[in-house]
Structure 1
Amino acid sequence: MARAAIGWGVRDLAKEASVSPDTIARLERGEELKASTIDAIQSALEAAGVQFIPENGGGAGVRLRKDSA
């Protein structure tokens, strides 16, 4: 969801997170990855404006950061 929200393809996210496109595909299939790999992907998405929302009764999710005006 996060990748689609910012309009990135698999290769875009892979490049920004310094991982391979196969790693992104594995993540999206729900396969287990090293914590450091997940951290790199999350950091790349957050730098692009994605906010991760913890589970709050409705399940975890993502949203885009509001630009401060």
Structure 2
Amino acid sequence: MLRAGLTRILCKSDSAVLVKMLNEDTSLAGLYGILADISFNWISRMKNVETDKLIKQILSVELILEQDYWSDLERGA
């Protein structure tokens, strides 16, 4: 993270369970030094709809590109 020039990162999730787990020191003791500068915030699913749509679109494009790549390799292209 520091190599990229980032000193703080804010992550948001619509999973309250995940946010709670990531914010508890006990389950992440080994990663605490790294995670100490990262904030995890819960956001409602309603506020996450557009981001969720965008991520699904990106992942579908990546999947298509990955499938095309492997198909090209199999054909020797």
TM-score scaled by length of structure 1:
0.31
Considering only CA atoms, is the larger Rg found in Structure 1 or Structure 2?
Answer: 2
TM-score scaled by length of structure 2:
0.29
> Per residue, is there more helix in 1 or in 2?
2
